[in-house]
Amino acid sequence: MQTAWPFFDLMVANLPYQISSQVVFKLLSHRPMFRCAVLMFQEEFALRLTARPGEALYCRLSVNTQLLAKVDQLLKVGKQNFRPPPKVESRVVRIELKNPPPPVNFTEWDGMIRLLFNRKNKTLRSVLMTKAVIKLLEENRQTVKALAKPDAMIDDRPIGDILEEILARESWKDHRASKMDLDQFLQLLAEFNEAGIHFSC
């Protein structure tokens, strides 16, 4: 997976299931953009790609994939179609990158999504108001501050106070990552960044 991929327009593959996640994330960042990828995955992995808010399989993979691509389930492939038959069912999916891609810093986005989906059924406040997360966000702020222009306006209030202010808003009160859609995550990230909270440096 370390090898750079050449230009391609179409990918059709039955991949080793143990590298499914690495392949998907490499596809999502591949440039120049390809037209379409048609791939076979283990059924549960394929369902995670298209899971919706509130569904049991909704996860970081679902959110990141759907942010950057349109994903469709094409067909189910039963175990009986293989010799010897595997222990799992399979599905074929189609992945098409969104063009143009959404105007979001993906590293920053994924930093937030990774934190929120560590405990996706907890409230945003429960996930973010821990000592470990506050320490991480404070370290990020210090890095941003060191790289900023001398006249840049940076909120010096305690990170915990800024988080409390944002998460107390009616739009985020009692929200959980497991029930939030893409637009809500994008809005939340925008509010955090506007307040000087960053999830990557």
10-residue averages of pLDDT along the chain (201 residues): 86 94 95 96 98 98 98 95 88 97 96 98 97 96 86 84 95 95 98 95 77
106-194 classified as CATH 1.10.8.480:
yes
Residues forming a β-bridge with 12: 38
**Domain spanning 10-97: which CATH class is it, in words?**
alpha beta
Domain with CATH 1.10.8.480 in the chain: 106-194
Residue 1, marked binder: yes
Residue position matching structure tokens 């996640």: 21
CA 201 – CA 189 distance, rounded (Å): 14
Helix (H, G, I), strand (E, B) or coil at 69: strand
Task: Give the phi and the psi of residue 195 in degrees, each rounded to 5.
Answer: -90, 5
pLDDT tens-place string over residues 48-83: 999 999 999 999 999 999 999 999 999 999 988 888
- All CATH 3.40.50.150 domain ranges of the chain, comma separated, are 10-97
Is 11 a known ligand-binding residue? no
| Structure confidence at residue 51 (pLDDT) | 98
Q: What is the pTM of this model?
A: 0.92
- Residue 18's pLDDT is 94
Report the DSSP beta bridge partners of residue 94: 38, 72
Residue 196 and residue 141 in contact, taking contact as beta carbons nearer than 8 Å: yes
What angle do the packed helices 60-68 and 20-29 form, to 10 degrees?
Answer: 30
Structure tokens at 52: 């919706």
Closest of 35, 34, 46 to residue 75, by C-alpha: 46
Residue 75: phi, psi to the nearest 5?
A: -165, 155
Q: Which two tokens stand for residue 6?
A: 């050449």
Q: What distance in Å separates the CA atoms of residue 72 and residue 37, rounded to the nearest whole number?
A: 11
